[in-house]
């Protein structure tokens, strides 16, 4: 098992065994262990069972023993007990399997970090050594020049092909300037090459620039290409938000999408929190064909180009943020709500109205008190238990609002 580099070992207790049989597996494998014990049926047939038949039902007997020994050995204990055809037991097992996918993704990921931190956003700054130490992943520090030279080599034909792809994926608003659209398409092709050349699983970026110089133009042309990358499972996030990109990768690998967002406003009449961002966006969470909208001055930044706009799919959602604590350790922070219909801003943002079942102001206070940054991943479905399980496998804290 050590040679196989497991992300999760599932230990199936089919009858009684002594804890000495399984302790070495947990001690020496270097992987987290999930103990499961699923008896054959809901209950024994007492009238016809002998000792041999009964022993098929006593897989639960050693569970406290294993839990006790794991605790004394300093090994985290987790288990699922039930019967073989019990749907709720299998759902819990599936959550642990999904959590193992998160562990695998974050252990082996290569994260690109391009440009510089957004000035003044102290919460987004991340210790780059912390990620390989905590997860085992790698951070590849990139320059915007790494993108520039690849964009410079994009041909007119490649740009036209990318524009055609964008027309199939998006609805183009009348505000889109053809020149900006073509530039975004060209940058998109260059981004694909950057990701391929550095074998990236995610990308975080930001560059301020000045007076329309080349790097500023690259930064303004990122959203189309970054959204297309995110849609195919490679989260690409603005504002240098490395930790949020990790959260998006975690929500992506469990099949929940994951769009970059922050709080936009509170609606105390409808009891909702409005949240979203000016892109990039995960197209899987859209309730309709995403819209490309042209931008001038937008979201507190000077700029131009195109941005993605859509309403997040209505129904249950889970937020996942990656917080950094005072001691430097990382934590998963989650909250479950429901996206409900209603009026939305039409400013080139991915927007949603989330009902958390409580006063919006109280929710903001509770959410902010966790230490989460001001960006997070919005994912489809109620998946708090899965993210809790992933935090357990990763050995980091978990907080639920």
Which of 177, 273, 277, 175 minimizes the C-alpha distance to 221? 177
pTM of the entire structure? Answer: 0.92
CATH 3.40.50.10940 domain residues, the chain: 9-85
CATH 1.10.3470 fits 108-400, yes or no: no
Residue 305 pLDDT: 74
Buried b (16+ CB within 10 A) or exposed e, 355-376: bbeeebeebeeebeebebbebb
* Percent of the chain whose predicted confidence (pLDDT) is above 90: 78
Residue 56 pLDDT: 93
**One-character DSSP codes across 14-78:** -S---GGGTHHHHHHS-S-EEEEEEESSSS--TTT--HHHHHTT-TTTTHHHHHHHHHHTT----
For residue 377, pLDDT beyond 50: yes
Q: What is the mean pLDDT of residues 255-265?
A: 92
pLDDT digits (tens, 9 = 90+) for 297-316: 555 455 567 877 777 889 99
Average model confidence (pLDDT) for the chain? 92
CATH 3.40.50.10940 fits 9-85, yes or no: yes
Residue 58 pLDDT: 93
CATH 3.20.14 domain residues, the chain: 108-400
Distances (CA, A) of 318 to 256, 339, 378: 9, 10, 6
Better-scored residue on pLDDT, 313 or 141: 141
Residue 296 pLDDT: 60
pLDDT digits (tens, 9 = 90+) for 266-281: 999 999 999 988 767 7
Better-scored residue on pLDDT, 285 or 143: 143
């Amino acid at each position: 098992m050590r040679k196989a580099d497991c992300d999760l070992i599932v230990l199936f207790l089919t009858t009684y065994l002594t804890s000495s049989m399984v302790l070495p597996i947990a001690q020496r494998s270097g992987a987290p262990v999930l103990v499961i014990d699923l008896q054959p049926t809901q209950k024994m047939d007492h009238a016809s069972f002998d000792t041999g038949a009964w022993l098929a039902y006593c897989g639960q007997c050693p569970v406290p023993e294993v839990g006790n020994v794991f605790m004394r050995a300093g090994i985290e204990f987790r288990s699922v007990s039930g019967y073989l055809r019990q749907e709720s037991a299998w759902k819990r097992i599936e959550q642990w399997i999904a959590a193992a996918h998160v562990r695998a993704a974050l252990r082996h990921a290569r994260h690109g970090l391009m440009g510089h931190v957004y000035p003044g956003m102290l919460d987004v700054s991340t210790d780059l050594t912390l990620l390989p130490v905590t997860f085992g992943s790698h951070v590849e520090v990139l320059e915007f020049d790494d993108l520039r030279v690849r964009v410079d080599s994009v041909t007119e034909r490649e740009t036209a092909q990318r524009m055609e792809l964008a027309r199939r994926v998006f609805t183009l608003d009348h505000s889109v300037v053809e020149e900006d659209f073509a530039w975004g398409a060209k940058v998109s092709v260059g981004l694909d090459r950057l990701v391929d050349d550095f074998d990236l699983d995610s990308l975080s970026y930001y560059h301020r620039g000045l007076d329309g110089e080349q790097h500023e133009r690259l930064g303004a042309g990122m959203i189309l290409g970054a959204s297309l990358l995110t849609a195919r499972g490679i989260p690409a996030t603005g504002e240098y938000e490395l930790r949020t990109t990790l959260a998006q990768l975690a929500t992506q690998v469990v099949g929940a999408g994951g769009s970059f967002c922050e709080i936009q406003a509170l609606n105390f009449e409808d009891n909702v929190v409005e949240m979203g961002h000016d892109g990039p966006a995960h197209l899987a969470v859209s309730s309709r064909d995403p819209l490309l909208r042209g931008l001038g001055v937008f979201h507190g930044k000077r700029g131009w180009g195109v941005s993605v706009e859509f309403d997040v799919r209505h129904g249950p959602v889970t937020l996942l943020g990656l917080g950094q604590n005072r001691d430097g350790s990382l934590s998963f922070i989650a909250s479950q709500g429901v996206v409900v219909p209603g009026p939305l801003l039409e400013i080139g943002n991915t927007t949603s109205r989330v009902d958390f079942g409580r006063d919006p102001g109280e929710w903001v206070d509770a959410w902010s008190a966790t230490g989460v940054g001001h960006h997070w991943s919005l994912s489809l479905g109620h998946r708090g238990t899965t993210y809790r399980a992933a935090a357990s496998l990763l050995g980091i804290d978990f907080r639920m609002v």
